Amino acid sequence: MIPVTGVYVLNGPNLNLLGTRRPEVYGTMTLPDVEELCREEATRLGLDLIFHQSNHEGRLIDWIHEAGARVKAGEVIGAVFNPGAYTHTSIALHDAIEGTELPVVEVHISNVHRRESFRHHSYISPVARGTIVGLGTDGYRLAIDALHRMSLT
């Protein structure tokens, strides 16, 4: 069996606009900055980083399927997932995570519970191992660490 060496970080729609879209809400770090932050944390834990972003729901589902299969093969520990606005709308992403049994930590840069009421409901949270909200981009680092700790138990 191949040793577990990887972690996925998946990002949904509009996260490619980090650094320019509403910096008062999402901060000034760009998506490449977030990728570097994640790579540093993964490396610290001895993990390879698989980092993706898409504005397309189907592509995210494909990566969830891929990650789920790789978890079952013992190659990766799971996925950190910031589904963006799909958090509040996508039963399909919920079903993909549930169907693949992918260990997921859901991440949101802003505190969605302090924002518009339509952002208060998540279709992802019920199938996630945990959720980190409102801690800025540092939430990604914390989520990678949490997945790693969960994989050791």
44 is annotated as contributing to ligand binding: no
Q: What DSSP state is assigned to residue 2?
A: P
82 is in an annotated binding site: yes
**Is residue 113 annotated as involved in ligand binding?**
no
Set 108, 123, 140, 148: catalytic member: 108
Is residue 95 part of an annotated ligand binding site? yes
**Rounded distance, CA 146 to CA 54, Å?**
24
Q: CA-CA distance, 15 to 1, in Å (whole number)?
A: 35
**What angle do the packed helices 57-72 and 91-100 form, to 10 degrees?**
10
Q: Which one-letter amino acid corresponds to residue 23?
A: P
Annotated binding residue at 14? no
Note if 108 is an active site residue: yes
Nearest of 138, 130, 142 to residue 122 by alpha carbon: 130
Residue 70 in marked binding region: no
* From 26, 86, 123, 140, the catalytic residue: 26
**CB 94 within 8 Å of CB 123:** yes
For residue 66, which of 22, 143, 10 has the smallest C-alpha distance? 10
**Residues with catalytic roles:** 26, 108
Residues of the binding site for substrate: 82, 88, 95, 109-110, 119
Residues of the binding site: 82, 88, 95, 109-110, 119
